[in-house]
Structure 1
């Protein structure tokens, strides 16, 4: 019971933005940090070694898929800052974009059944699990195919 996974199509979310917003965000670089996302859940005590290990990674807010060239938003719960923006201003923009990208029209909800297999491209999809009874057995396996480089090393999204 519960534990559905929601997948947001970040290509469609980008396409649905107005031209003014697209122009505003096209060159923005976000800081993605596990410490930020975990900190928002109340995990705040990190060793110095963990702080070094979980340093923010810079990623483009708008990325272009390296194979087919389609643009998308690149958001996640780890995105907590935008280079050159104040923290409050950046977090408001990121929250607004996340609210936009997770509207029902952009989201597929997978209701898990025994032996299901779901595959997605993390470069243009945002996902999250919904609450479930953690006393119930749940066996999930994940395989990840590594990318080639952080998005800031890629060409600008234009």
Structure 2
């Protein structure tokens, strides 16, 4: 399930998904930044540029190149700011296309697998024009990215 809401000039995207895998398997996959490329739509040309990231830890800086629009590549740097093993981690944009990007990844073990919640709070630059862009294409693009991710994860791990 994918939901959007707006509050105080910030947008929040919430994505919930259940997967029939164990918590350790889920954590190992999602806490490895190198797997981001696998679950990002290929047309975005997502590439980590900071070298092969090891295990995730607070303070880790990861840089990427990504094409938010065809033919438009941008640099993006995130910092892993919080990590509680097998519970949650947070990445925050340090520079990139948004004024603010705060992405929480939560994991909950359940009887038949895991329940994951992604919560992305973001602010678009350019004031009124940014809000217009949200309605015209940013919301749709983020929805497509997370739908791709949901489908790719179901293809890899089952429903």
TM-score, normalised on structure 1?
A: 0.27
Larger Rg: 1
Greater relative contact order structure (CA < 8 Å, 6+ sep): 1
TM-score, normalised on structure 2?
A: 0.27
More strand by share: 2
